[in-house]
Structure 1
Amino acid sequence: MARQKLSKRIAKSRAALAFMTWFAALYIRILRRVVSWRRDYHPEAARLINGEGPFIACFWHGRMLMMSAAWPADPKRMHLLISLHRDGRLIADAVQRLGYSVVEGSSRRGGLQALREMARVLKEKDAISITPDGPRGPRMRVKPGILKAAQFSGAPIVPIAGSTSSRWMLKTWDRFLIPKPFSKGVLMAGEPLHIGKDLDEKQLDALRLDLEQRLNALCDAADGQVGQSAIAPDPVEA
């Protein structure tokens, strides 16, 4: 009980949060440089990631620490959709230290304002990152918001996965992965998914499941390439 109270106190401390965001940004910079990254991208995904048009980057919440290494060094054209939850605020502060922009809102809750802001960003040929199982899960299950965002904006979704040969895995809902320095890493980007504007709810749900399967298959392949065991998604509710 005493430990729980202490951890909550730390989480609410501005000084502690400032240190955590500084350290997270520093660690991400270190990982980008000292992990031996190999990239395996679908040709169309590679063109989009390298700046040839807007896109929506899609990756699981538990693998976000690796994603800075997935795109070119200049972060200015990548905007991250961040929830307004306290954890989201921590992530937002960390990625802004790295030079990324933030769109506040939720692809699941609403966010008509967030949708409009994403559409504006994508219209300017920039990119948006979304974790479709965040901020609270279920793990590795796509919520429909990302499909709505793609349909609203007309931008393709690029599924991205990463893994490293040596890592820590936290006992959190998302099985958050922390790559260890000097490990070998792989980043994979699958074929972009284009969402038609005239699709109905049933068609969108079929594409949601397709995206989920593609992203999980990419994660399994990335884990296999570096000798790691695959992480199972949360069971589907009956």
Structure 2
Amino acid sequence: MTLGKRLAKSPTVIRGVGGLAHLWLARCQWRTRWQTRGEDALRAALAEGPVLLVLRHSRLMMGPFHWPRDAADLSSLHDTSPIARIAGDTHRRCGLTPVAMSARLSNLAMSRLVMDRMRAGASIGITADGPLGPAREINDPPLDWARITGAPVFFYAASMTRQARAASWDRLLLPRPGGEGAVVFRPWEDTMPRRADAAAREAARASMKAGLDATTAEADAMLGLAPGP
């Protein structure tokens, strides 16, 4: 193993880089003037139990700062790559409970882990198109976990007037301090049937994509921005 790979796997390095990332994101959070829609509906749902929070991978950077931590815990799921572990460290610093999901875990094992967290009272946050795309699509895990848990699904999106975009598959939004910001939480009006055939599953996928696209476009529109990735 090369020195670079050893450092990338080092808990000390992960914590150090995670600390720096958290400081920068916190600065962006507190120096941006935010407006929020849909949090009351989210809090009302959380009063009844955990929810499944679904978002685009490109809009995940500020999410830990916008979750109502006083209402419920959130377990953000991430893979075990160095970048994902750094993201998990920043989430932990925000008071959330990140959970590393090994690529070697079976779908059944992952589903059991999700159910265990929900039984403990934690909501689950997941990127619909992560960690590798295709961008802006709905991969299988949000559908599977909505079906298995029966929990309400909420969409989340954030937008900022001061931002850059990474040259990544999802064009990740990179926040900058200052300016205006918008946050939207929106409930999914449909449900995932417990026994869904192929047609019902694809209908739910299309409905979830439409809801997440609309949530993301609404956050952009609140700031007068054209819809972005």
TM-score normalized by the length of structure 1: 0.83
How much identity, in percent, do the aligned residues show?
23
The reply on whether 1:159 has 2:155 as its aligned counterpart is yes
Which of 213, 217, 224 aligns to 1:220? It is 217
> Structure 1, residues 28-69: CA drift from partner, whole Å, max 9, x if none?
3223322211111176434235x4421010011111112123
Distance 2:203 2:100 in 1: 27
Distance 1:52 1:175 in 2: 35
Query: 2:215 is paired with a residue of what secondary structure?
Result: helix
Distance 1:188 1:52 in 2: 20
Which of 183, 193, 203 aligns to 1:196? It is 193
Deviation at 1:228, TM superposition (A): 2.5
Distance 2:151 2:186 in 1: 15
Letter in 1 for 2:38: Y
Deviation at 1:136, TM superposition (A): 0.9
Which of 138, 143, 160 aligns to 1:142? It is 138
Aligned twin of 2:33: 36
Letter in 2 for 1:69: F
Residues 63 and 221 (structure 1), Cα distance of their counterparts in 2 relative to 1, 3 Å cut: same
Residues 88 and 57 (structure 1), Cα distance of their counterparts in 2 relative to 1, 3 Å cut: same
Residues 34 and 73 (structure 1), Cα distance of their counterparts in 2 relative to 1, 3 Å cut: farther
Residues 44 and 81 (structure 1), Cα distance of their counterparts in 2 relative to 1, 3 Å cut: same
Which of 55, 78, 84 aligns to 2:80? It is 84
Aligned twin of 2:204: 207
- Of 83-92 and 143-152, more deviation after overlay is shown by 83-92
RMSD: 2.8
Structure 1 unaligned residues grouped into runs of 5+: 1-7, 233-238
TM-score normalized by the length of structure 2: 0.86
Structure 2 unaligned residues grouped into runs of 5+: none
Contact 1:103–1:117 under 8 Å retained in 2: no
Deviation at 1:86, TM superposition (A): 3.1
Contact 2:191–2:204 under 8 Å retained in 1: no
> Structure 1, residues 118-140: CA drift from partner, whole Å, max 9, x if none?
11222233201000111111111
Letter in 1 for 2:212: L
- Which runs of at least 4 in structure 1 moved beyond 6 Å after TM superposition? 8-11
How many residue pairs align between the two structures?
226
Aligned twin of 1:103: 99
Contact 2:14–2:85 under 8 Å retained in 1: no
Distance 1:33 1:97 in 2: 15
Distance 1:90 1:127 in 2: 21
Aligned twin of 1:57: 53
Distance 2:192 2:24 in 1: 35
> Structure 1, residues 143-180: CA drift from partner, whole Å, max 9, x if none?
01111011111112111111012111111111111222
Distance 2:24 2:141 in 1: 30
